[in-house]
């Protein structure tokens, strides 16, 4: 996600999950230098980086490979100059710039570690492109997959969830499993139940593109309504390029076709600082995502807010969600399966309260503080570097 420097001097990120991740690592370093896309804006939107020891090494703004590669002659010298100034490289992949930064670090003998958060190859079957664009996307995917394989074989690598761990370990690499998160110790709510009023308020959070499977949700809401339950759904998240715009239009059309246009709202993108408190206004969370992710961080956000979860049994999700323990899993994200799972949450009070309580326990085990401590201990041990020790917060 792009960053910018606001008029008040704060460093801000559009969406917020990466800003929070940076803040969690900042106590372990004298300085964190971010080589990231930077946009020209000065407003106070987005999410602020709170750590004072974070600096910018700006790259031209790009949303993906289509914008990145035409700027490569300008970007490569900036990346090389930046790598010369740093002591330790961290790449969060897949992203177009990472392979070039990693290659520069190898040449200059800088230690490096990577965090793999997604699986581009698994996304290919749901690619929204056709013809020449599909061929180009396949070529880019293959390049990124080879680059990530190189990183995992030659550096310390963390992977988001068991599915990505199994994939990359199969190539002979030693990878360490982690779970990416955006929640801190102070984000865990305390409510013990939901669904006490009507309408039941359902929430879905994710990028609006075909890979998230959101188009099926209006039909699922229709089936819940037809069963006699008054329910609404808000979808929060940004559209991603032209395919995202097309997917958003398809969701609107599907809601009209299913006669639930008044019940399904597309809210759009929200910065994390606004989104996290908003979860607590809802009764249940639904995410019909498709293969290609590690573990979506929105699942932990929902659990931390006391939301019972319905999601799909794909990618790394079963490594976080145990069916009927801290969420409900569906094998295929069909409207019938999703509606049945949502109705179980609404109608089964003991199950719902159990999912909420166990969700809190899961969220507490996967906070930013816990993730950062485990990752940085491994960085010290495996890369033989000495990091700072975070100062413990005073007891309240």
Q: Are 264 and 236 in contact (CB under 8 A)?
A: no
Supply the pLDDT for residue 396: 31
CATH class of 3-184+367-383: alpha beta
Equal CATH topology for 3-184+367-383 and 185-365 = yes
Mean per-residue pLDDT of the chain: 93
In the chain, where are the structural domains located? Answer: 3-184+367-383, 185-365
Dihedral of alpha carbons 75, 79, 82, 88, sign: positive
Q: Which residue has the tokens 């779970």?
A: 179
How far is the C-alpha of 36 from the C-alpha of 57, rounded, in Å? 7
Among the residue ranges 123-127, 254-258, 271-275, 370-374, the one predicted with the least confidence is 123-127
Kindly report, residue by residue over 73-97, the tens digit of the pLDDT: 999 999 999 999 999 999 999 999 9
> Can you say whether the dihedral through the CA atoms of 64, 216, 252, 304 is positive or negative?
negative
Q: What is the pTM of this model?
A: 0.85
Among 20-24, 126-130, 221-225, the range scoring the smallest mean pLDDT is: 126-130
For the chain, helix, strand, coil in percent to 5 are 45, 20, 35
**What is the three-class DSSP state of 156?**
strand
Which pLDDT does position 229 carry in this prediction? 98
Strand order in the sheet with 175-178: 89-93, 112-116, 156-160, 175-178
Tens digit of each residue's pLDDT (9 = 90 or more) over 167-192: 999 877 889 999 989 999 889 999 99
Query: What CATH number has the domain spanning 185-365?
Result: 3.40.50.2000
Pairing of strands 309-312, 284-287: parallel
Interval 328-366: pLDDT, tens = 999 999 999 999 999 999 999 999 999 999 999 999 999
């Amino acid at each position: 996600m792009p960053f910018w420097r606001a008029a008040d001097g704060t460093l801000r990120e559009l969406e917020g999950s990466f800003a929070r991740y940076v803040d969690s690592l900042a106590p372990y370093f004298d300085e964190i230098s971010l080589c990231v896309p930077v946009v020209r804006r000065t407003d106070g939107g987005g999410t602020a980086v709170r750590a004072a020891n974070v600096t910018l090494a700006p790259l031209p703004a790009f949303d993906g490979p289509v914008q990145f590669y035409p700027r490569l002659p300008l970007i490569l010298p900036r990346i090389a100059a930046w790598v010369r100034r740093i002591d330790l490289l961290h790449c969060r992949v897949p992203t177009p710039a990472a392979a070039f930064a990693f290659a520069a670090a190898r040449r200059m003998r800088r230690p490096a570690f990577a965090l793999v958060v997604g699986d581009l190859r698994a996304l290919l079957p749901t690619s929204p492109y056709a013809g020449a664009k599909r061929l180009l996307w396949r070529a880019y995917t293959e390049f990124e997959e080879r680059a990530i394989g190189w990183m995992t074989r030659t550096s310390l690598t963390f992977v988001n969830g068991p599915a990505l761990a199994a994939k990359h370990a199969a190539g002979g690499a030693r990878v360490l499993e982690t779970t990416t998160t955006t929640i801190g110790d102070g984000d865990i709510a305390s409510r013990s139940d939901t669904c006490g009023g009507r309408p039941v308020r359902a929430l879905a959070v994710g990028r609006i593109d075909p890979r998230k499977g959101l188009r099926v949700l209006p039909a699922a809401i229709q089936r819940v309504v037809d069963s006699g339950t008054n329910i609404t759904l808000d979808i929060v998240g940004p559209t991603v390029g032209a395919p995202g715009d097309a997917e958003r239009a398809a969701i609107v059309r599907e809601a009209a076709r299913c006669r639930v246009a008044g019940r399904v709202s597309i809210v759009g993108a929200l910065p994390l600082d606004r989104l996290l408190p908003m979860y607590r206004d809802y009764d249940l969370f639904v995410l019909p995502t498709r293969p290609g992710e590690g573990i979506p961080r929105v699942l932990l956000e929902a659990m931390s807010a006391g939301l019972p979860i319905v999601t799909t049994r794909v990618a790394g999700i079963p490594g976080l969600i145990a069916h009927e323990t801290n969420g409900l899993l569906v094998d295929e994200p069909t409207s019938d399966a999703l509606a049945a799972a949502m109705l179980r949450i609404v109608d089964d009070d003991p199950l719902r309260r159990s999912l909420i309580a166990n969700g809190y326990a899961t969220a507490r085990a996967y906070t930013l503080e816990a993730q950062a401590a485990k990752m940085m201990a491994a960085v010290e041990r495996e890369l033989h570097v000495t990091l700072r020790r975070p100062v413990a917060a005073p007891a309240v």
